[in-house]
Structure 1
Amino acid sequence: MNQVRDKQWNLGSVRPGSHPVKDQIQDILLHIEETQSVLKHGMNADEAVDVTKGVQDLYTEAFHMDEYIICLLSVDVMDEEAQELSARSTQLQAKMDTLLLGYSQCLAHMADEDWEAFIGRREVAGSERFLKQQRRKVKDQLDPEMEKLIHALSVDGFAGWEDHYDQEYARLKVPVTDNGKTEYISFDIAYIRGMLSNDRETRMEMGEAISKVCRENEDRFASIFNHFAGFRNELYQLRGWTNPLKEMFEQNRISERSVNTMMETLHQHKSLLHRFFERKAKLIQMEKLSWYDIYAPTFTSKTTLTYEEAADIVIEQFRRFSEKLGQFAQTAFEEGWIDAEPGDSKQHGAFCASFPNAKESRVMLSFTGNYNDVVTIAHELGHAYHNSLLHEQPGFSHKVGTGLAETASTFAENLVLDAAIDMAETEEDRLSLLEMKITNGLKYTTFIPAKFEFEAAFYKKRLNGKLSAGDIVQLMEETERNWFHDSVDEVFTHNWMTIPHFFSTEKAFYNLPYTIGYLFSNGVYSLYQQDKETFPERYDQLLTRSGNHSMDELSIEFLQEELGTDFWEAAVRPLKEAVEMYLEETEKYS
């Protein structure tokens, strides 16, 4: 057994500095102002190199600071001191965005001759894509003063609505009655406790309690959602962007054609979900599933895992891929990089924070002892490993397309889950893990695409005015049914209230990148299965270069094909094979 410090992380080594965080934020703000004052149009190559170094250093410092504060707030979202720091960090990020805007304007106004000399300099090697993108996107924006004003107003506007959502969601409590005694638990704890329960009565009661809480609060959350989307729509219109998905394509570094082809392919494979749900309903002796039955295990492993056992599983499977990856995971567990202790005031979900100046990462989740938690740890450590390779690159190349950012994490999931299925000691364990693999796959190929189409439809309707809570509920019903058909008797029409990705200011349409990353990762994983001896080195190269290449470019270079129908069909194939295997092996139980 490997040494595991505990289930709470150590933030000491990633703390930005020894001075109070407030003071450090102020120092960064002063340096931003100083750098802003030296920006000028008509820079030559030498001047551009010097300015780029200064802006890149500040960019990395501000990012590191924000990640640290996110970690502070995540363990207790009601911590007033952390909330204040978060507000200051939001202001810092807005100032940094303003500096980047001015910097981009300078790049855009460089003479072509100076630009070509600058972009070929060794000092900016590895950041070429970011720099070219900054220069190019200036033509898509308003004049500099207007963009600066928008950034300033967004602190209490756009970002303010995101903060408001986070706080309101954290306050939601679900009443749970046991032996005549009622307790109020956090929304996420209730969701996990209910949706993963083996007892259908418990799932139904918890599902009804969750729905009741949602109905009681729907108007407030609808108001937040409307204002949030309204700000983004208005900004896009001011910039003259006719395609509301433009920013999403750019952030994911993937072409619109590739995404459209992917969605068409996924629509053609919706029957995988229908067949799986039909079999699952038969196995639990029901005519149809309801939304609160979707994640419930039909087959259950008899073992509850300790955190130490989870660590052993992840480290061992990572090490089977490469000694480097295994040692990385061991360091993460032993050095206190992971906060896994559940808590009522802890942020819901899971994430990985990157600390470039310390060349470390931190992972947050709530570990409850099931195998899904092990997969979550693997997923987040996949992010952390990706970070470790990017930390050796220039700061600007740390900004990876969001779809590519999910590739390493999904790859790590596959390593852990596929190995566990192969090594399962009992049929019950094997079917339980196979079911988990399928449910995870359907999340990416069906659940998330449905959310994406809901979000796109919501933004389109929002152009014509605000939607009531009832309108939003109806829209979710329609888009979910388009994917689920009649395979469930009831969909979770208030799911829009529970998904923080809908309220992300930083990343537009932030659900779909998980699907893109999952499918791209499947393509990468298939290469590994064909060549396990030499592939780990190529894998590291792919991740290292992900900060300076598009997904379409990496696909051609590493997978030797475009992101067309053939690629997406091949990427869905592992899930299709898993569903076929599950249907065959559970036939005797149905």
Structure 2
Amino acid sequence: MPSFCLHCNNQEYIIFQYMKKRNVALPDWDLSDLYSSIDDPKIDAALATALKRAGMFEKNYRGKIDDKSDSKQILKAVTEYERILVESNKPGCYAYLEYSVDSVNPRNAALLQKTKKKSIEINQRILFFELALINLSEQKLKHLISDPELKNYKHFLQKILKQKPHRLTEAEEKIFNDKYLTSGSALNRLFDEELAEQKYEFKKKGKIVLLNESEILDYLHSPDGQERKLAAQSFTKGIKSISRRLTFVTNMLAEDKSISDKYFKYTRPEDSRHLDNETTKETVDTMINVVVKNYSLVQEYYQLKKKILKLKNIYDYDRYAPLSVSKKKYDYSEAKDIILDAFESFSPKFAHLANDFFEKKWIHAKPEKNKRSGAYCMYVSPELHPYVFLNYNYSIDDIETLAHELGHGVHASLARKQTYLNFDWPLTVAETASVFGEMILFDHLKEKLPDRERFSLLLRRIESTFATVFRQTAMFLFERDLHEARKNGEMTSETISALWRKRQAEMFGRSVALTPDYDLWWSYIPHFKHTPFYVYAYAFGELLSLSLYAKYKKEGKSFVSKYITLLKNGGLKSPDDLLEPFKIKLSDPEFWMGGVEIIRSLVVEAEKIYSSRLH
């Protein structure tokens, strides 16, 4: 709950007018390709149809999938199974899109809960099928994997084979699915609604305004040090007012995961994520170790930033202080032109697909009072199209965020030739296209901006890369610590905060002074709740993208067709197979070090430019 009620506070008018001025030219999305409204009867009809098909599927195939089944029977069953997944997915996607824009609206929350419940009911009817495939003999599964008739589903069957040790009986898995609505799903919903409803007081031009999360955090990019400090204090005050509930949610989700891991036979808390990402602990640890060994690069950079800003100390709220006094704001139309021009320089196909998002209203960019923070791209299904969600506040950082999400969108658009079971790819590969989009934008802007702004852009690129590689690595290690500590019982907010501070301090060393307020900033990060151990995929994807981008700069246009093929393949192949044309070995420490060296070259370039200005 918020620290005060907007409906009972005369500051409501101030925030409404403040946001109204800023939102005039920002787009809402058009979801009519999905449904006309949350009251559209087609939503219930689609769920009913999917449930009916699931019942027929169960009648036709339960008890009939075994080692004697031939490839034609398996192909027919998988195709029908895939069709049911497509039909049942659409209502849930629509409900989440509406909920994201106004997560306080009880009707949106009710629709989201209803679609989740119906989706689980449908999945319960067809759950037997994957388990039947898993219970095939290893010899039979390998035979099906190599059968040309099932070529389109080869990777799907390979994943089934890898899941064998981690699946339960049908009755046991049904219990877990049913309980999810009132355990993990309910806790995540509580977390989302708490933060969406929370408002933060901030003094602007002599008036107190109430800001949402994305707006208050935007002030951490202010050129005014006092504004940054006050914004950080306001944000801490806000999350502290709900910290008891946020701590409770964190504890319960960690325990919930521990219970699931025990029954699904995962040794470590992150093992299920590695399986989903089709990677190994050894590969991830190799990457993490390389990044940690280069924390000194972070410290070196912030020492440089301290000199540039002429500050005695850099505090946690100064990390994103702009290095240019420019207060330029970018209209949404400018952001569109900049991104499309950048994408065009890489590939006209990229620009064309990205333009569809603007022209066909597939983007929600307008901040709203009850809109959730952050940004994402919703893929939906190959038969439809993706949607992009963000909070646009007119800064160049927002342009980078938009380019990032459009990278995801272009990836999904290119992969629409795949069928639904191949229209999903591991997080480690998913971040590749988004980071690549950022790099294309960065190079494009470097050529267009004057020297002073170009230097500022370089520093922002470094900071963005640090946030993606080094910060996410520290966050991954924090998650490991958190789940390990939870084994000893429920944790206090102070205990979790100490774990957070330890890992952040390791990364920053003495280059950034961490205030006591910063200790609580773990509590608002959604990844720890919604998708445990997701965060290392950002570092993985960033370093992989830097390597691929270096190959693009070296090979030029001959690289483009290979890269587009990679994206078109979607989830048709494993990450290792997708990357085979690029001769990349993810298990090699030197590969990851190559990505870090590219980051180092950016820092060295910044230091040289700064030194040249002193002489």
SS, match of residue 497 in structure 1: coil
Given residue 529 of structure 2, which amino acid in structure 1 is its aligned partner? F
Indicate the SS of the match to 2:202.
strand
Name whichever of 337-346 and 34-43 sits farther off: 34-43
Contact 1:61 1:357 in 2 (8 A): no
Q: In the alignment, is residue 276 of structure 1 matched against residue 296 of structure 2?
A: no
Residue in 1 that maps onto 2:453? 429
Q: 1:252 to 1:113 in 2, by over 3 A?
A: closer
Post-superposition offset of 1:548: 2.8
Give distance in 1, aligned partners of 2:501 and 2:382.
Answer: 45
Contact 2:458–2:606 (8 Å) recurs in 1: yes
Alpha-carbon distance in 1 for matches of 2:508, 2:485: 22
Q: Give the match for residue 554 of structure 1.
A: 578
- 1:560 offset after TM fit, Å? 4.2
1:255 partnered with 2:275:
no
**CA RMSD after TM alignment:** 2.2
Unaligned runs of at least 5 residues, structure 1: none
User: Please, which runs of 5 or more residues in structure 2 have no aligned partner?
Assistant: 1-24
Residue 31 of structure 1 is matched in structure 2 by 53
- Matching of residues 331-370 of structure 1 within 5 Å: 331-370=356-395
Higher mean Cα deviation, 115-124 or 577-586? Answer: 115-124
Cα distance between partner residues in 2 of 1:107 and 1:482: 46
The alpha-carbon deviation at position 179 of structure 1 amounts to 5.3
Shift of 1:79: 2.2
Find the aligned partners of 2:577 and 2:280 in 1 and give their Cα distance. Answer: 10
Aligned-partner residue type, residue 347 of structure 1: R
Q: 1:100 to 1:589 in 2, by over 3 A?
A: farther
Q: Within 2, Cα distance between the matches of 1:287 and 1:565?
A: 37
- The answer to whether the aligner puts 1:10 opposite 2:30 as a matched pair is yes
Q: Secondary structure at the residue paired with 1:224?
A: helix
Match of 1:388 among 413, 433, 453: 413
Give the 3 Å change call, closer, same or farther, for CA 113–330 of structure 1 in structure 2. Answer: same
Q: Is the 8 A contact 2:375 2:391 kept in 1?
A: yes
Letter in 2 for 1:438: I
Distance 1:549 1:468 in 2: 43
- 2:431 is aligned with 1:411: no
Percent identity reads 23
User: What are the Cα deviations for residues 445-479 of structure 1, in whole angstroms up to 9, with x where unaligned?
Assistant: 21111111111110111122110111111111111
State how far apart, in whole Å, the 1-side matches of 2:137 and 2:476 are: 41
From the superposition, tell whether residues 314 and 112 of structure 1 become closer, same or farther in structure 2 (CA, over 3 Å): same
TM-fit CA distance, 1:372: 1.0
Cα distance in 2 for residues equivalent to 1:6 and 1:466: 44
Per mean C-alpha deviation after superposition, the further-off stretch among 489-498 and 144-153 is 489-498
The verdict on how the C-alpha distance between 1:139 and 1:233 changes in structure 2, with shifts beyond 3 A counting, is: same
Select which of 315, 318, 325 maps to 2:350.
325
What CA deviation, in whole Å up to 9, does each residue of 1:353-393 have, x standing for no partner? 11325431111111111111111111111111111122111
CA contact (8 A) 1:555 1:562 kept: no
Distance 2:425 2:299 in 1: 35
Higher RCO (C-alpha under 8 Å, 6+ residues apart): 1
Contact 2:47–2:87 (Cα < 8 Å) also in 1:
no
Residue pair 2:257, 2:269 contacting (<8 A) in 1 also: no
1:180–1:324 CA distance, 2 compared to 1 (3 A):
closer
Q: Which one of the candidate residues 244, 268, 276 is aligned to 1:219?
A: 244
Shift of 1:97: 4.7
User: For the residues of structure 1 that align with 2:489 and 2:58, how far apart are their CA atoms?
Assistant: 38
CA distance in 2, matches of 1:442, 1:99: 45
Amino acid at match of 1:210: F
| Alpha carbons 2:341, 2:351 under 8 Å: kept | yes
Instruction: Tell me the amino acid that sits aligned with residue 549 of structure 1.
Output: K
Q: How far, CA to CA, are the matches of 2:137 and 2:509 in structure 1?
A: 57
Cα distance in 2 for residues equivalent to 1:28 and 1:328: 30
In the alignment, the residues of structure 1 paired with residue 167 and residue 573 of structure 2 have an alpha-carbon distance, to the nearest angstrom, of 23
State the secondary structure of the residue aligned to 2:323: coil
Matched, 1:455 2:475: no
Tell me the number of residue pairs that the alignment of Structure 1 and Structure 2 aligns: 583
1-structure distance, mates of 2:56, 2:513: 61
2:73 to 26, 47, 64: 47
* Greater Cα offset, 318-327 or 84-93: 84-93
What is the CA-CA distance between 1:486 and the residue it aligns to?
1.7
How far apart are residue 120 of structure 1 and its match? 4.4
Q: 1:562 to 1:366 in 2, by over 3 A?
A: closer
Q: Which residue of 1 aligns with 2:97?
A: 71
* Equivalent runs, 1:383-532 vs 2, <5 Å: 383-425=408-450, 427-490=451-514, 492-504=518-530, 507-532=531-556
1:129 aligns to what? Answer: 155
* CA spacing shift, 1:107–1:479, aligned 2, 3 Å: same
Deviation, 1:99, is 5.0
Other structure's SS at 1:348 match: coil
Cα distance in 2 between the residues matched to 1:241 and 1:560: 28
Equivalent position amino acid for 2:464 in 1: N
Residue 267 (structure 2) aligns with = 242
Corresponding letter in the other structure for 1:81? R
Q: Secondary structure at the match of 2:379?
A: strand
Cα distance change, pair 140–111 in 1 and its aligned pair in 2 (3 A): closer
SS class of match (1:496): coil
Question: Contact 2:72–2:149 at 8 Å: present in 1 too?
Answer: no
CA contact (8 A) 1:300 1:432 kept: no
Q: Which residue of 41, 44, 59 corresponds with 1:22? A: 44
Counterpart CA distance in 2 for 1:370 and 1:545 is: 34
Contact 1:305 1:370 in 2 (8 A): yes
Which digits, 9 at most, give the CA deviation of each residue in 1:178-218, with x for residues without a partner? 455323221221111x2111100011111111112222221
CA distance in 2, matches of 1:32, 1:515: 39
* Cα distance in structure 1, aligned partners of 2:192 and 2:423: 26
Aligned residue for 1:145? 171
Question: Do the aligned partners of 1:45 and 1:114 also contact (CA within 8 Å) in 2?
Answer: no
1:542 maps to a residue whose letter is: L
Structure 2 CA distance for aligned equivalents of residues 175 and 215 of structure 1: 13
- Equivalent-residue separation in structure 2 for 1:268 and 1:123 (angstroms): 48
Question: Counterparts of 1:457 and 1:214 in 2: how far apart (Å)?
Answer: 22
Deviates more, 1:301-310 or 1:243-252: 301-310
Counterpart residue type for residue 307 of structure 1: Y
Is the alpha carbon distance of 1:579 and 1:260 closer, same or farther for their aligned partners in structure 2, counting shifts above 3 Å?
same
TM-score by length of 1: 0.94
The residue identity in structure 1 corresponding to 2:89 is F
CA–CA separation in structure 2 for the residues paired with 1:153 and 1:129: 30
Letter in 2 for 1:526: A
Q: The residue matched to 2:242 in structure 1 has which SS?
A: helix
| Map 1:56-67 → 2, pairs under 5 A | 56-67=82-93
1:333–1:178 CA distance, 2 compared to 1 (3 A): closer
Distance in 2 of aligned mates of 1:562 and 1:165: 35
Q: What residue number does 1:570 align with?
A: 594
When the two structures are superposed, what TM-score results if normalisation uses the length of structure 2?
Answer: 0.90
CA, structure 1 residues 556+117, in 2 after alignment: closer, same or farther (shift >3 Å)?
closer
